[in-house]
Amino acid sequence: MLLGPGDDAAVLAAPDRRVVVTTDLLLEGRHFRRDWSSGYEIGRKAAAQNLSDIMAMGATPTGLFVGLGMPADTTVEWLDALSDGFRDECALVGAGVAGGDIAKSDTIVLGVTALGDLGGIAPVTRSGASPGDQVAVAGRLGHAAAGLALLSAGAVSDAFAELLLAHRRPEPPYEQGPRAAALRATAMVDVSDGLVQDLGHVAAASGVAVILDPGGFPVSAPLADAARQVGADPLDWILTGGDDHALAAAFPPEVRLPPPWRVVGAVAAGHGVQVKGRAEAPGGWDHFRG
């Protein structure tokens, strides 16, 4: 960041001469609840989902811009906590908030735009997967969805603290985006709306099918316990829960993937996403339903 907040516009360095850009909108009551999450956690989450999109292209984030709509009675303490959340999440990747705008609104509205730099490499898009590629994921899956289910059921206890925090504040595997690019990933996507749904975007863009093996998704003890608590199938959370912001990517079959990447399936001729042993792949988050 060459010039930050304080002028009419910020100035960011663009060493690669290409700029990667992504944007997200978060609405109170739709994407977060202030009675479930603190201002600090909302700031972390809003930053994380945008920074993860930049990393999913194989790029390095350079800055965030935040548009904020808020009621007139929003407290200074809440705003300070929100700002601290943005600051701390950006610090994980060496970026910062370069500017933004505020306006009065009936509820909290956050519009976040992130910029990134490719450092001379080609972007990893959704359209490069080929039959024979292996499909792998990095990062946790299903934890945020489990946390949301627990909050919705009123099952809030210290026994589920890890899952509740996962919903409130995701932990994307940031460094694995550029690392996947270095490992010659042919396609990559941030898992924001559910693994099946987001890999469906890869399948459609690449003109291929993605076959997932349920055996590649071990169910942790916290997930199993939470599923019993609310009467759910933990595999459904893993396949359709997206707010963990894991990364999913396709790699050439000869690439030996280091941890934390784990192979969960393969690319084949055809179309769509199939889960072995299931007649129909489950869906994911729909922004106009649910």
| Annotated binding-site residue numbers | 8, 22-24, 31, 53, 100-101, 126, 190, 192-193, 243, 285
In the prediction, which pLDDT does 43 show?
Answer: 98
What does pTM read for this prediction? 0.92
- The pLDDT of 27-51, averaged and rounded, is 96
May I ask the CATH architecture of the domain 20-117?
Answer: 2-Layer Sandwich (3.30)
Distances (CA, A) of 185 to 9, 121, 123, 128: 35, 12, 10, 9
pLDDT tens sequence across 199-223: 999 999 999 999 999 999 999 999 9
Residue numbering of the annotated binding site for ATP:
100-101, 126, 192
Phi, psi of 60 (to 5 degrees): -110, 125
How far, CA to CA in Å, does 266 sit from each of 192, 229, 238, 262? 20, 33, 17, 12
User: Where in the chain is CATH 3.30.1330.10?
Assistant: 20-117
pLDDT-derived band at 287, boundaries 50, 70, 90: very low
Q: Which residues of the chain form CATH 3.90.650.10? A: 134-275
Which pLDDT score, from 0 to 100, does residue 288 have?
Answer: 41
**Beta pairing class for 272-275 and 209-212:** parallel
Mean per-residue pLDDT for 28-34? 93
Task: List pLDDT tens digits, range 72-128.
Answer: 999 999 999 999 999 999 999 999 999 999 999 999 999 999 999 999 999 999 999
The structure tokens listed for 204 are: 């459609």
Mean pLDDT, the chain, whole residue set: 93
% residues pLDDT > 70 (the chain): 96
Residue 9: its pLDDT value, please? 85
CATH no., domain 134-275: 3.90.650.10
Residue set of the binding site for Mg(2+): 8, 22-24, 53, 101, 190, 193
More confident residue, 282 or 159: 159
Name the percent of the chain lying above pLDDT 90. 88
Residue ranges for the known binding site for substrate are: 31, 243, 285
